[in-house]
Amino acid sequence: MTLPTQSRQAFAAGALWREMPGTAGAALSSALTHAPENAAYGLMAMAPLGAAFGPVAMGLALLGAAVGSATGSLVGSGRLAGDAGAALALLTAGLVAALLAHVPGPPADVAWAVLLLVATGIMAGGVLTTLYGLFRIGAVVKFTPYPVRVGLSTGVGLLLIVGAAPAALGQEFGSSLTSTESVRLGAVLIALCALGVTWFADRAHTRVPPVLLGLTTATLLQMAGVQAGWGTSLGQTVGVPELPTAWFGGAATASTWLTALGEPAVLALLASYALTASIVVSLDTLLAASIIDGRLRISRNANRELVAQGMANLASAAVGGLPASPAVPASLGLVMRRPAQRHIVVAYAAALLAVLLLAPAVLGALPTSAVGGVLAYLGAEMISRTLWQTPADLWRLRGQQPTRDPRRWRQLAANWAVTVAVALSALVLGLGHAVLIGASFSVLLFVRSNMRDVVRHVWNGTTRHSLKTRPMNVTEALRREGQRIALVELEGALFFGTADALRARLHALAPRAETAILDLHQVRELDVTAARILYEMAEDWEGMGKSLVLAEWPEHDPRRSLLESVASAERSVTLNFEDTTDLALERAEEQLLERLEIERHTGAVLQLADTMIARGLSAQELNLLAAELTMHEFPCGHVLFRAGDPGDCLFISLRGEIGLRVPGTTRRLASFAPGVMIGEMAVLAGTARSAEAVAESDVTALGLSVESFRHLMRSHPELAAKVSGNMALHLADRVRILTGDLAGWVSRSGAGRSD
């Protein structure tokens, strides 16, 4: 039954009204968690203007975050909460310090003129970010190599620790570590309390957000210390955020601003800042969008989000706020609690504004040292373990890796060197220089090779088969229905951009394929973002009732271990790994045959008439052939013959599989199902064995010796001709299958040669 329009509207309004308490609760909880961070980043960004400007800096930071978040959500696809992040706050602090040398006048006018110049730079960055989206540059930005992104993140973490350290020691934000101000022991204890509680809550996955719990505990401890008379050693609180009475300082500020804009040095500073900020915002936007979309199983237009975040920064700058970019913790906190509400970020923005306007004293009670301790913890979390793990890995592998796979060893060392170079440039030269250096590394060393499609080739079951040789009727069934199996051969590095492109390719395969196998043999690198995307793809295929199989990463492979760590954190999907692509194909074929209900005599002992050697033989001919055959029983693991043994007999399996292996290895050349012949080449040509045959399960087989075959040729030449013809047909089938496998191996052996 279809409701009238008015009834539908009333129903929707009622549902919205019922959801309002839950929405308001989620938004307020997130705002209370992230408002202190935004206020602290405001203090850091404007610290060069002095402590007196701190309350206004916090107020404008919160106002900008609220306005920017709401604008970005309404213009974009929603669900991305924008905050003043560490990287952007550090960039802004560097710009403020540099501008102070170019803006003359009374201190009050200078502060507001610098703020207006910063707003100009933020607007220019917003315009650039918008242009990136309009000109569809988002797809290029996603291909920023993983070592560059890790280096930038690590550099930001180090700078954040350095910037937060003075506050954690009881000094003001912006103070130098070499300052003559005394260290307050009580403030250090408050900072350690905030840091320790946040760390514990983060590891324990408490329901209360870790940052909020850490700050609350430290604030209560400071209040108790003040009551006990220890106030002088505990340090100050951050102060109550406030908004200016005259926007950007009035007419005098405008005159100073115009004068400063006429200086080439100021324009160069603003241009560099705008470019760097736009790159940081673009990276944060695309990464946050990918994570949120992966959690919700939705897909959004990445370029539209760049436009939205550009507009968000334009709006933030218009009210004097800091530049903002989507924050993954804030966005996840909102989305996972209210996944169905597209624009819950608007409610979050309203809650931020409410905290600023209605309860600023709540933030004003926070100890400066506690905020410094929490920021130091957040900075430490941003430092990649790659810095110390990779040298240990290189040292451990130095004995065997360079000789076995020197290209991979060199790649690992080069990636680590790039990460360290970018991180150190951020720490020594500043974040702006680090971003530009990272961009140069991307262009010169990585992007050219990594922007190639990671998918080297896509096969299906009609052209690529496992090495298991089956009876003709089974082989024909697999050939007819082989399009239900897809084999995707990958090459290169799996990171944010390439993994996202792979997800799109698999999505296109899903309507016609029931099993997708990823051949990961030529995948040299895997980062955390790509591991998360791979896991989400496996979850998607399982949700569709299909299977995604990951091949060529054996147990204890570091790339597999990284992916398994992501899966263990989610605990909802078991990843399907196979050591080799051949085994993955065989399992997929067996599952397909089960779905097709093809009779394969599983576990049963075949009769001679059911085998390939007996095709087309009459009952009398079967009896004559049977008289020349001998029965054999082989336990699992038994070697039927080895390379170099005389070719004195062929075997026909009646039960169990026989594998043909490369001498001295466990990698098989073929596997023979019941009813199939093995060793016929040696019988026909009288040559020595070229490989070794091993029983892959308990085997019951018939043997036809060279002497028996020759006797058959002398006594029953017509029957011998039919048997020889069946051998030839069997060999032709194997050659046809191996041709497809050879094409795959040639493709694989040529992978990477153009690097």
Q: For residue 573, give both structure tokens.
A: 């999907």
Facing residues of 650 across strands? Answer: 704
User: 116 with 65: CB under 8 angstroms?
Assistant: no
CA torsion, points 536, 539, 540, 545, in degrees to nearest 10?
A: 170
Separation CA 240–CA 41 (nearest Å):
15
Q: Which residues contact 389 (CB under 8 A, 6 or more apart)?
A: none
Using the 8-state DSSP alphabet, how is residue 646 labeled?
B
| pLDDT for residue 398 is more than 80 | no
**What is each CA distance from 32 to 55, 354, 595, 722, in whole angstroms?**
18, 10, 54, 85
Task: Give the mean model confidence (pLDDT) for residues 424-430.
Answer: 88
Which segment of 4-13, 39-48, 65-74, 651-660 scores lowest on mean pLDDT?
A: 4-13
pLDDT-above-90 percentage for the chain? 26
Separation CA 536–CA 573 (nearest Å):
9
Cα angle at 317 between 313 and 320, to 5 degrees?
Answer: 140
| pLDDT for residue 17 is more than 50 | no
Q: Which residues contact 376 (CB under 8 A, 6 or more apart)?
A: 160, 161, 164, 165, 168, 191, 195
Q: For residue 86, give both structure tokens.
A: 């560490």
Separation CA 548–CA 537 (nearest Å):
8
Enclosing H/E stretch for 519: strand 515-526
**What integer pLDDT is reported at residue 18 of this predicted model?**
54
User: 41 with 322: CB under 8 angstroms?
Assistant: yes
Separation CA 515–CA 545 (nearest Å):
10
Residue 608: which of 686, 478, 723 has the closest Cα? 723
Using the 8-state DSSP alphabet, how is residue 248 labeled?
G
Distance of CA 100 to the CA centre of its chain: 41
Q: For residue 305, give both structure tokens.
A: 């989000």
What would the pLDDT profile of 106-129 be if each residue is shown by its tens digit? 777 788 888 889 999 999 999 999
**What integer pLDDT is reported at residue 751 of this predicted model?**
46
Facing residues of 511 across strands? Answer: none
Task: Give the mean model confidence (pLDDT) for residues 55-72.
Answer: 92
Decide which of 735 and 356 is more confident.
Answer: 356
What count of other Cβ atoms lies within 10 Å of the Cβ of residue 672? 28
Which segment of 13-17, 51-55, 192-196, 648-652 scores lowest on mean pLDDT?
A: 13-17
What would the pLDDT profile of 227-236 be if each residue is shown by its tens digit? 888 877 888 8
Strands 668-672 and 677-678: unpaired
Encode 330-359: b = buried (16+ Cβ within 10 Å), e = exposed: bbbbbbebbeebebbbbbbbbbbbbbbeee
Separation CA 405–CA 398 (nearest Å):
11
Separation CA 486–CA 482 (nearest Å):
8
The half-sphere exposure of 226 on its side-chain side, counting CA atoms within 13 A, is 11
Decide which of 525 and 651 is more confident.
Answer: 651
**What integer pLDDT is reported at residue 12 of this predicted model?**
40
What would the pLDDT profile of 556-600 be if each residue is shown by its tens digit? 888 888 888 888 766 667 789 998 888 899 899 888 888 888 766
Residue 155: which of 476, 424, 392 has the closest Cα? 424
| Helix and strand element counts for the chain (H, E) | 30, 16
pLDDT band at 750; cut points 50, 70, 90: very low
What would the pLDDT profile of 198-207 be if each residue is shown by its tens digit? 999 988 888 8
**What integer pLDDT is reported at residue 92 of this predicted model?**
93
Decide which of 45 and 245 is more confident.
Answer: 45
User: 585 with 464: CB under 8 angstroms?
Assistant: yes
| pLDDT for residue 15 is more than 70 | no
Separation CA 234–CA 212 (nearest Å):
20
User: 437 with 165: CB under 8 angstroms?
Assistant: no
Using the 8-state DSSP alphabet, how is residue 666 labeled?
S
Decide which of 471 and 354 is more confident.
Answer: 354
User: 64 with 231: CB under 8 angstroms?
Assistant: no
Which residue intervals of 46-145 are DSSP H helices?
54-75, 86-99, 107-134, 138-141
User: Listing from the earlier edge strand, what are the strands of the sheet with 547-551?
Assistant: 455-460, 485-494, 515-526, 547-551, 576-578
Sign (positive or negative) of CA dihedral 22, 27, 28, 32: positive
Separation CA 217–CA 194 (nearest Å):
7
CA torsion, points 280, 281, 286, 290, in degrees to nearest 10?
A: 100
Residue 222: which of 182, 189, 173 has the closest Cα? 189
DSSP labels, 350-361: HHHHHHHHH-HH
What would the pLDDT profile of 271-323 be if each residue is shown by its tens digit? 999 999 999 999 889 888 888 888 787 878 888 999 999 999 999 999 988 89
Residue 522: which of 737, 755, 739, 738 has the closest Cα? 755
Task: Give the mean model confidence (pLDDT) for residues 24-32.
Answer: 85
Considering 135-149, 464-478, 628-642, the range whose residues carry the highest mean pLDDT is 628-642
For the chain, domains (ranges, CATH) are 16-382 (no CATH), 455-596 (3.30.750.24), 608-749 (2.60.120.10)
What would the pLDDT profile of 252-272 be if each residue is shown by its tens digit? 677 778 888 888 999 999 999
**What integer pLDDT is reported at residue 403 of this predicted model?**
44
Q: Which residues contact 547 (CB under 8 A, 6 or more apart)?
A: 514, 515, 516, 541, 576, 588, 591
**What integer pLDDT is reported at residue 405 of this predicted model?**
55
Task: Give the mean model confidence (pLDDT) for residues 53-74.
Answer: 92
The half-sphere exposure of 700 on its side-chain side, counting CA atoms within 13 A, is 9
Which segment of 334-338, 448-452, 465-469, 472-476 scores lowest on mean pLDDT?
A: 448-452
Residue 380: which of 161, 630, 68, 88 has the closest Cα? 161
Separation CA 48–CA 40 (nearest Å):
14
**What integer pLDDT is reported at residue 205 of this predicted model?**
84
pLDDT band at 181; cut points 50, 70, 90: low
What count of other Cβ atoms lies within 10 Å of the Cβ of residue 500? 21
Residue 139: which of 501, 491, 403 has the closest Cα? 501
Q: What is the pTM of this model?
A: 0.72
3-class DSSP state for residue 494? strand
**What integer pLDDT is reported at residue 132 of this predicted model?**
93
Encode 595-630: b = buried (16+ Cβ within 10 Å), e = exposed: eeebebbeeeebebeebbbbbebeeebeebbeebbe
Sign (positive or negative) of CA dihedral 505, 509, 515, 521: negative
Q: For residue 431, give both structure tokens.
A: 């974040």
Residue 542: which of 580, 514, 521 has the closest Cα? 514
Which segment of 21-35, 55-69, 481-495, 577-591 scores lowest on mean pLDDT?
A: 21-35
3-class DSSP state for residue 300? coil
Mean pLDDT of the chain: 83
**What integer pLDDT is reported at residue 399 of this predicted model?**
59
